Amino acid sequence: MQRRRWLAAAVVSITPFLAPLAHAQDWPARPIKLVVPFPPGGLIDNMARLVAPRLAQELGQAVVIDNKPGAGGNVGAAEAARATPDGYTLLMASPPLTISPALYARLPYRPEQIVPIGLMGRVPNVLVVNPSANINTLADLTALAKSRPGQLNYASNGQGTSLHLSAELYKSQAGLFITHIPYRGAAAGLTGVIAGEVNLMFDNLPSALGLIQGGKLKALAVTTPQRSSVLPQVPTMEEAGVKGYQVSAWFGLAAPAGVPAPVLQKIEQALERIASQAEVKAAMQRAGAEPTWANAQAMNAFMQADAAQWKKVAAYAKIALE
């Protein structure tokens, strides 16, 4: 009798530790939803559609994309954060996860409600000017801005976006006073640069690349630590004289906090195998992205550093959004 009691107590005591393992062995038993916090057709959506069928093949279940745009990516992030943490809802992670907490007094979710799984790629922003302007290098632009404080202006795709903050980081590190002119979208902002309405703009490289290659825009620098493989002749911001400047759009996978560790590990390992595929890397590069694998731990460190940078920039620029 005493032996049976001891065995029963032992089973009860180890059951909480066996449950996640059993869940991981059974998982996935049904389709997985991948929340994309932007409309169809953009870079993050395109990368999700590149990853989803391969993830489905790796895991043996369909991966269904669910576009949830709104509030600069916060609507989709909030939906993922509130989802049941069982591994059946994932989030296409991107810069709003690190930018929004620095800008919004009230977020519809808490940053700690979302955990990273793996980083797959980084996308440079690129600083562009009108080719007819007498600005050939970043040093030319910086010197001009310093000689005419407050007289130059820059376009963005809206208040509080990564493109807006990229320019504010440049201003803060170079000690410049340049006026912000927000447009309704990046395409409109680029049109403003081409038309001479504004002097400069930071944009995601993929959307500006065709205009640069077509001679309608001049690229002065890219914002990533390394040069872009599609614009190898264009220096980085650091090479061009702004020390310590590093900005990139990025994408990967995340999940609601609380998903069992064995399930997260299973997804992370599948994602790493996908990220190593030559055709996936080539597709990213064609889209203007640089394949950059980082596991959950490294992605978390990257996101923490990114969030700290944007918090400083938001404070410098006095940006606060409702």
| CA pair distance 223, 176, nearest whole angstrom | 17
Distance CA 289, CA 282 (A): 9
What is the average pLDDT score of the chain? 91
Structure tokens at 62: 């369909």
Q: What is the pLDDT of residue 86?
A: 97
For residues 136 and 194, state if they share a domain.
yes
Buried residues in 13-27 as b, exposed as e (16+ CB within 10 A):
eeeeeeeeeebbeeb
| 64 and 156 co-located in one domain | no
**Domain finish residue from 222, 241, 264:** 222
Token pair in block for residue 175: 């000690």
Helix (H, G, I), strand (E, B) or coil at 117: strand
- Asked, for residue 236, whether it belongs to a domain, the answer is no
Q: Looking at the structure, do residues 136 and 195 belong to the same domain, yes or no?
A: yes
Helices (H), the chain: 2-26, 43-59, 74-82, 96-103, 138-147, 162-174, 186-195, 205-213, 261-275, 278-286, 296-317
Q: How much is the pLDDT for 286?
A: 86
- Determine how many CB atoms are found less than 10 A away from the CB of residue 40: 12
**Is 90 exceeded by the pLDDT of residue 3?**
no
Mean pLDDT of 51-62: 98
pLDDT at 13 over 80: no
61-76 pLDDT, tens per residue? 999 999 999 888 899 9
Look at residue 304 and tell me if it is in a domain: yes
Mark 61-96 as b/e (b = at least 16 C-beta within 10 Å).
Answer: bebebbbbeebbbbbbbbbbbebebbbbbbbbbbbb
Instruction: Provide the number of structural domains found in the chain.
Output: 2
Residue 35 · residue 89 · CB < 8 Å? yes
Tell me whether residue 139 is in a domain.
yes
Measure the CA–CA gap between 244 and 266, rounded to whole angstroms: 36
Flag whether pLDDT at 6 surpasses 90: no
Here the tokens at position 114 are: 């979302």
Is residue 265 classed as helix, strand or coil in its secondary structure?
helix
Q: Extract the tokens encoding 68.
A: 């949830």
Encoding tokens for residue 63? 């991966």
pLDDT of amino acid 25: 76
Q: Cα-atom radius of gyration of the chain, to the nearest Å?
A: 22
* Structure-block tokens of residue 306: 């990114």
pLDDT at 115: 98
CA separation for the pair 80, 159 (Å, rounded): 24
Whether residue 241 lies inside any domain: the answer is no
Structural domain boundaries, residue 42: 7-122+250-317
Residue 227 lies in a domain: no
Are 108 and 167 within one domain? no
- What confidence tens digit (pLDDT) does each residue in 138-191 have? 999 999 999 999 999 999 988 888 899 999 999 999 999 999 999 988 889 999
Mean pLDDT confidence for 267-274: 98
Same domain, 115 and 139: no
Q: Is the residue at 228 inside a domain?
A: no
Q: Are residues 117 and 255 in the same domain?
A: yes
CATH number, position 13: 3.40.190.150
Clarify whether residues 286 and 308 are in a common domain: yes
Is 107 in the same domain as 147?
no
Strands (E), 275-314: 290-295
Note whether 115 and 261 are same-domain residues: yes
Tokens of 39: 């409309």
